Amino acid sequence: MRYESIPNSLFIKNRENFIAQMKPNTIAVLTSNDVKHNNADDVMSFTQNNDLFYLSGIDQEETILVLYPDAQMEENRAIVFVKETNEQMRIWDGEKLTKKQATIVSGIERIEWAQDFEMTLQYMAFEADGFYLGHNEHLKRVTKDQETQQDRMIKWCKGKYPLHEYYRAAKITRDLRPIKSEEEVVLMQKAADISVNSFIRVLKACKPTMKEYELEAELTYNLVKSGASHHAFQPIVASGKNACALHYNTNDAICNDGEMILLDFGVCYANYNSDTTRCLPVNGKFSDRQKEVYSSVLHCLKEGSKYLKPGVLPSAYEAKMAVLVETQLIELGLLDANKVANQDPEKPLYKKYFMHGTAHHIGLDVHDVGLYSRNIEVGMVFTCEPGIYIPEEGIGCRLENDYLITENGNVNLTVAMPIEIEEIEALMNN
């Protein structure tokens, strides 16, 4: 792996917390993600099933984790099945994890080859009363119309053992994963630190007439050089009016003199992610109007992030953030105060210039699992990302940091990333 080894104590602790929520005499079976193909014999880079990684640390395809805490035989209480390296694989693709390596990574003593999974499970299945199976239950999942390895496991398991009870592993991980351990925070901080250096590279490289993708290349260079796995998501490098399209990522336009660039990007390090947004002037100096808009958004970020604290319901936080942005829109002359006072509360006027939420869980997923009906708790990590978008002026501005929730408020994991106007201009003109 590109990233430094993670202490297996993290995964041991995660399994203990997961097992504590399992029903008596049940077996949990979690599978890895599929390898996705491009054309011919080429494949996309592999991304692990985050629930499987959370519980085992194994970052390899064709992996299965089995947990049976109430098994009579101790050797059956935790098993990892991994892909066995054969001679052809060794020649073409190189070595996969050995059994000893898999034990070191996961902290699980019993490692078996993937081809032995079905027979091994059968020796335990009829001793158990039910199964916990994994499935992608993310609200924004994009695999809903595509059969995955998890789908195939559910189909196979229910066909093989139809009279057992079945439960949702994702319901447990959804409860556990939002609260980050110290080890996880260290990994997220590493991702954030790589992001900081990447942004500084962009500030020093940016010049008028550059293509947006040239700045994306600066992000990619530093990411790879720093040992990160990949971008946390397709970077947004949006100059001028492109910044008013929230998910613009073609990144092929010219960065013109006098425009502002919105840079929304993240780093995936050891499967943990950062998610940050900054804006910068193409020519190294903000115009007066760009400064006004930027300062308004920065005000909302600084004040709004204070609402991210224990005991606050996310919807209450979002309502307060909306009021902050609405007030700034009035001060910028974009909204009329009288009209705002008499607006239809179901159709707030601010949505013309500010149309998205501003806080989401972040961790193993950029938009990490977690219920937004649950109050903010110590150990959670949220983004804060207010924005103002003015298509008629060709200005789109969003600023975003990542915040660890503590008993005394929050800690900005991306505090080192330049954000003040003077700091950005100084770095660009140095």
Domain residue limits, the chain: 9-176, 182-429
- Please tell me the predicted confidence (pLDDT) of residue 147: 86
Ranges of H-type helices in 115-178: 117-125, 149-160, 169-176
Q: Minimal CA–CA distance to 264: which of 199, 186, 185?
A: 199
For residue 146, what are its two tokens? Answer: 């595509």
For residue 60, what are its two tokens? Answer: 């390899």
Contact 363, 149 (CB under 8 A): no
For residue 370, what are its two tokens? Answer: 């977690």
CATH architecture under which domain 9-176 falls: 3-Layer(aba) Sandwich (3.40)
pLDDT in tens, 135-174: 887 776 665 567 888 999 999 999 999 999 999 999 999 9
Handedness of CA 357, 363, 366, 372 (dihedral sign): negative
The SS3 assignment for 278 reads strand
Strand order across the 381-384 sheet: 381-384, 401-406, 409-412
Q: How far is CA 368 from CA 175, 176, 255, in A?
A: 11, 11, 32
Give, rounded to a whole angstrom, the gap between the first and last alpha carbons of the chain.
Answer: 37
Measure the CA–CA gap between 212 and 191, rounded to whole angstroms: 23
One digit per residue, the tens of pLDDT, for the chain of length 430 reads 889 999 999 999 999 999 999 999 999 999 999 888 788 777 778 889 999 999 999 999 999 999 999 999 999 999 999 999 888 888 888 899 999 999 999 999 999 999 999 999 999 999 999 999 998 877 766 655 678 889 999 999 999 999 999 999 999 999 999 999 999 999 999 999 999 999 999 999 999 999 999 999 999 999 999 999 999 999 999 999 999 999 999 999 999 999 999 999 999 999 999 999 999 999 999 999 999 999 999 999 999 999 999 999 999 999 999 999 999 999 999 999 999 999 999 999 999 999 999 999 999 999 999 999 999 999 999 999 999 999 999 999 999 999 999 998 899 999 999 999 999 999 999 8
Contact 358, 277 (CB under 8 A): no
Residues whose CB falls within 8 Å of the CB of residue 317, separated by 6 or more in sequence, listed in order: 304, 307, 308, 359, 376
Measure the CA–CA gap between 297 and 303, rounded to whole angstroms: 10
Q: Which of 3.30.470.10, 3.90.230.10, 3.40.50.2000, 3.40.50.10490 would CATH assign to domain 182-429?
A: 3.90.230.10
For residue 221, what are its two tokens? Answer: 């260079």
Q: Where are the beta strands (DSSP E) in 223-380?
A: 230-231, 236-239, 260-265, 267-269, 272-273, 276-281
DSSP string for 167-196: EEHHHHHHHHTTS--HHHHHHHHHHHHHHH
